[in-house]
């Protein structure tokens, strides 16, 4: 994404139609939902160079495959090329592949303890912006089914005795399609491989799910706060029905896991909802920094080993906050790959860390 070349019309068409398809009326509206600045967003849509991490984040938000999109960007349509190398450190988008996921051992033990027993129970994941909530949801969904050869050596994956019987459904409320009740219900039914009723209203949805749900099913809801604030169709009646589905009609086979900045009941209150749905979350995982040994494991995953004094410096500066560890590691790795001597990587790393400095404030 670093070079500026002639942009393929196919690319422009693909990204602009993805914008519309995802319900964003304009690029500036879309810009409010992603980390990069509006000018970066505009560059992306114009096919101009954009930092790799932002390119991937924007593609993910538009439900586009970034490799496919970047292929289409500048090359003739009948040429295919794929980026073979994968990033060792990821500094922005959520971690989607479990191989790149580190830490959270305590929270994972608790969450899987709840999920491996009948009846399933509900849980909430709470933490500051950028602390790792979405990454944890992706990990839960993928770790038990990803082939062993795609994981790190010794990486734990046998959390469930029978992972094959579980259904995992990911709902991202930042995806504007999820603000429509019908779309959301469709999405859940589709992922359960059940026949979608017409019309797919709340009553029919309840009937179909309670009649057919036999296997343990976990609905992961990311950015639930956005759902509550923006989606008028997702009203108290809607949430009460979901609660009653989970507690009374699915034989203990349905659970919800929410990711949010504040506790579910506070969230409901602050957004004018009174629904008892938000009181069913027995276990709450409060995401904070990694333990030192989790942070060391992440640093040790570098393809070029870091000198011991650099490991100590990164641990100290990052206070073991995952995104800060990733940023400093990424700078250190780059300098080692380029054969640079000196400490310029430290300055660069500290500069890159600045926009996430709120994560070091322990008082919040």
Ligand X SMILES: Nc1ncnc2c1ncn2[C@@H]1O[C@H](COP(=O)(O)OP(=O)(O)OP(=O)(O)O)[C@@H](O)[C@H]1O
Residues 6+ apart with CB under 8 A from 47: 7, 8, 11, 12, 73, 74
Q: In whole angstroms, give the CA distance from residue 21 to residue 174.
A: 14
Nearer to ligand X, 224 or 245 (CB): 224
Tell me how far apart the alpha carbons of residues 216 and 115 are, in angstroms, rounded to a whole number.
9
Cβ 186 to ligand X shortest distance, Å = 24
Nearer to Mg ion, 63 or 305 (CB): 63
Choose which of 40, 43, 121, 135 interacts with ligand X (CB under 6 A). Answer: 135
Q: To the nearest whole angstrom, how small is the minimum distance from the Cβ of residue 330 to ligand X?
A: 9
Partner touching 91 among Mg ion, ligand X, none, CB below 5 to 8 Å by kind: ligand X
Question: Cα separation of 18 and 33, whole Å?
Answer: 15
Closer of 133 and 187 to Mg ion (Cβ): 133
Q: What does the chain come to in residues?
A: 364
Q: Which stretch binds ligand X (CB under 6 A): 62-70, 85-93, 181-189, 246-254?
A: 85-93
Question: Which residue from 91, 134, 260, 326 is in contact with Mg ion, where contact means CB under 5 A?
Answer: 134
Name which of 47 and 225 has its Cβ closer to ligand X. 225
Which run of H or of E encompasses 279?
none
Only segment of 5-13, 71-79, 93-101, 344-352 that touches ligand X (CB under 6 A): 93-101
Residue 109 interacting entry, from ligand X, Mg ion, none, C-beta within 5 to 8 Å by type: none
Our CB check for ligand X shows the closer of 71 and 289 to be: 289
| Residue 59, C-beta contacts closer than 8 angstroms, at least 6 positions apart | 65, 66, 69
**Of positions 133, 243, 273, 332, contacts ligand X by CB under 6 A:** 133
Spatial separation of the C-alpha atoms in residues 350 and 318, rounded to whole Å: 9
Residues 262-301 that bind ligand X (CB under 6 A): 298
Interface size with ligand X, residues (CB under 6 A): 22
DSSP string across 18-53: HHHHTT-SSHHHHHTTSSS-HHHHHHHHHT----HH
């Amino acid at each position: 994404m670093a070079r500026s070349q002639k942009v393929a019309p196919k690319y422009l068409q693909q990204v602009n139609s993805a914008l519309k398809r995802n319900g964003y009326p304009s690029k500036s509206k879309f810009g409010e939902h992603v980390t990069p600045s509006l000018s970066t967003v505009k560059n992306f849509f114009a096919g101009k160079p954009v930092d790799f991490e932002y390119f991937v984040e924007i593609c993910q938000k538009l439900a586009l495959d970034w490799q496919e999109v970047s292929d289409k960007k500048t090359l003739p349509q009948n040429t295919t090329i794929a980026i073979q190398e994968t990033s060792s450190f990821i500094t922005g988008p959520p971690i989607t592949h479990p191989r790149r996921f580190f830490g959270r051992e305590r929270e994972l033990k608790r969450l899987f303890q709840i999920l491996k027993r009948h009846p399933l129970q509900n849980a909430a994941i709470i933490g500051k912006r950028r602390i790792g909530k979405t990454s944890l949801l992706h990990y839960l969904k993928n770790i038990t089914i990803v082939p062993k050869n795609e994981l790190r050596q010794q990486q734990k994956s046998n959390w469930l005795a029978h992972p094959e019987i579980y259904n995992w459904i990911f709902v991202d409320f930042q995806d504007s399609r999820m603000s429509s009740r019908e779309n959301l219900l469709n999405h859940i039914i589709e992922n359960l491989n059940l026949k979608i009723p017409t019309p797919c209203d709340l009553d029919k949805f309840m009937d179909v799910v309670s009649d057919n749900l036999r296997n343990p099913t976990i609905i992961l809801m990311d950015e639930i706060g956005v759902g509550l604030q923006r989606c008028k169709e997702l009203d108290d009646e809607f949430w009460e029905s979901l609660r009653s589905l989970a507690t009374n009609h699915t034989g203990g086979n349905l659970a919800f896991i929410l990711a949010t900045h504040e506790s579910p009941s506070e969230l409901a209150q602050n957004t004018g909802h009174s629904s008892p749905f938000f009181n069913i979350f027995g276990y709450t995982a409060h995401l904070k920094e990694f333990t030192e040994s989790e942070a060391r494991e992440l640093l040790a995953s570098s393809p070029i080993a870091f000198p011991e004094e650099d490991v100590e410096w990164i641990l100290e500066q990052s206070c073991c906050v995952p995104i800060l560890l990733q940023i400093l590691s990424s700078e250190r790795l780059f300098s080692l790959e380029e054969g640079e001597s000196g400490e310029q990587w430290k300055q660069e790393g500290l500069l890159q860390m600045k926009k996430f400095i709120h994560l070091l404030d322990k008082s919040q």
